[in-house]
Structure 1
Amino acid sequence: MTSDVKKPRRKRHAERPDIKEALLDATETLIREEGYAAATARRIASKVGLKHQVIFYYFGSQDELLAALFRRFADAQNERLKAALNSETPLSSLWHLHRDPESTRFTLEFMALANHNEVIRSEIAKNAETVRSMETEAVERHLRQRGIEPRMSPQMVTILTNALARLLVQEASLGIHLGHEEARRLSDASFAAFEAMGATIGGVEPIIDAMETGEPLGRDAG
């Protein structure tokens, strides 16, 4: 005779946040030290003394683990970005933030991974749209406060700032430094010129003018 009393389901073990964070930390360490290709499930799990199946228990897949790591990194970067854009020197702060070699190299690892990983590509694209909007709005706001009508759009300013900063870091990591000092001086002068200007000099375009002359302009210029 069979009993129709259902057996209670075996309870799933509760997830431990400390293990989840440890897996993210281990993945980040591997990517920073050896590149994204080193971040395999087995190597990640071994770093925290566990079997590789733990990756799938906590994240479902290795792709989701990498996506979670990117989101964690992007959230931290975006908090730094907000602080930079809300400072008294938004363009200089943005420039120096994107020139940070450690964070830029980490970003480049994810961009390389995105070439053949749709999950990561989607995460990067979504975050990039958010960041571009934040930066454009901030540059537009600061230009407006200074009474400046630029020939170069705020969006283009942010694109060029990001592109140049990323290029300098990428080339420096390969041992390429030719022209870097001149590019840094010109950019520093351009941003300092913009941030030295006040609303009393409406119509002056310090970013473009300083890029053409290479000379910082003071408050009494114009």
Structure 2
Amino acid sequence: MARDSTTRDMLIDATSRIMVDEGYAAATSRRVAAAAGVKPALVHYYFPTMDELYLDVFRRGAAAYLERQREALASDRPLHAFWETLIEPKDARLLLEFMGLANHRKEIRAEISAWQDRWREMQITALNFIVREHGLDTSEFPPAGLAVVIAAVGRTLILEQTLGTKGGHDEAVALVTRFLDRFEMPSKRRD
């Protein structure tokens, strides 16, 4: 029997939805099968272990995020677009679930680390260009440091929102927006 990529995609989609809505612990083979509308045995037919399914969910999301980040960093307002990719609640919730899963599974931790290195490398390359384009001193505004700070603020906001905390969030978003505006303000307005 040939493996149907549609069924495989349905299983990956169902797992992702369950992880976002209920957490990774709820994404059992039975729950995934029920959400995808297939028999539980099909989950293990396509994915011999749940870790393989989790890894495929992560890889699909990571590749999609990498493409969105690439588009954001190539846009007319790359910093603002990059910031928007970091504060997307669904992406951040799924990443947080994978971070929890990675605490227990070394292979998943290694995969996340490898993708994080790819994302960060792209961010640093783009930020290096942006910082230099605006005549800023890279020792004062190191692109690697900017990438970490922007990502950390975005992830912290999502984490706190997930916990039900929102105090200071509007102010933090406004602060980051003002900071990014200074970098992306048209040159005639900066002078």
> What TM-score do you get using the length of structure 1 for normalisation?
0.81
Q: Quote the offset at 1:126 in angstroms.
A: 0.7
Q: Quote the offset at 1:98 in angstroms.
A: 0.4
Question: Quick check: 1:46 aligned with 2:17?
Answer: no
User: How far apart, in 2, do the equivalents of 1:177 and 1:56 lie?
Assistant: 40
Q: Which has the larger radius of gyration?
A: 1
User: How far apart, in 2, do the equivalents of 1:71 and 1:32 lie?
Assistant: 15
Structure of higher RCO (CA pairs closer than 8 Å, 6+ residues apart):
2
**Partner residue of 1:166?**
155
**Partner residue of 2:190?**
219
Question: Quick check: 1:154 aligned with 2:143?
Answer: yes
1:21 is matched with which residue: 2, 6, 9? 9
> AA paired with 1:62?
M
2:70 is matched with which residue: 82, 86, 89? 82
**Partner residue of 1:108?**
96
> AA paired with 1:168?
L
**Partner residue of 1:120?**
108
Mapped contact 1:42–1:52 kept (Cα < 8 A): yes
Q: Quote the offset at 1:59 in angstroms.
A: 2.0
Q: Quote the offset at 1:177 in angstroms.
A: 1.7
> AA paired with 1:67?
L
2:126 is matched with which residue: 98, 119, 138? 138
Greater helix content: 2
Mapped contact 2:18–2:24 kept (Cα < 8 A): yes
| Deviation readout 1:19-74 (Å, 9 max, x if unpaired) | 11111111112112211111001111222343323222212211001100100011
Structure 1 residues 100, 48: closer, same or farther in 2, change over 3 A?
Answer: closer
User: How far apart, in 1, do the equivalents of 2:61 and 2:91 lie?
Assistant: 9
Matched residue pairs, number? 190
Structure 1 residues 49, 187: closer, same or farther in 2, change over 3 A?
Answer: closer
Mapped contact 1:30–1:38 kept (Cα < 8 A): yes
> What TM-score do you get using the length of structure 2 for normalisation?
0.93
Could you tell me which runs of 5 or more consecutive residues in structure 2 were left unpaired when the two chains were aligned: none
**Partner residue of 1:55?**
43
Percent identity between matched residues is 37
Could you tell me which runs of 5 or more consecutive residues in structure 1 were left unpaired when the two chains were aligned: 1-12, 201-217
User: How far apart, in 2, do the equivalents of 1:219 and 1:118 lie?
Assistant: 48
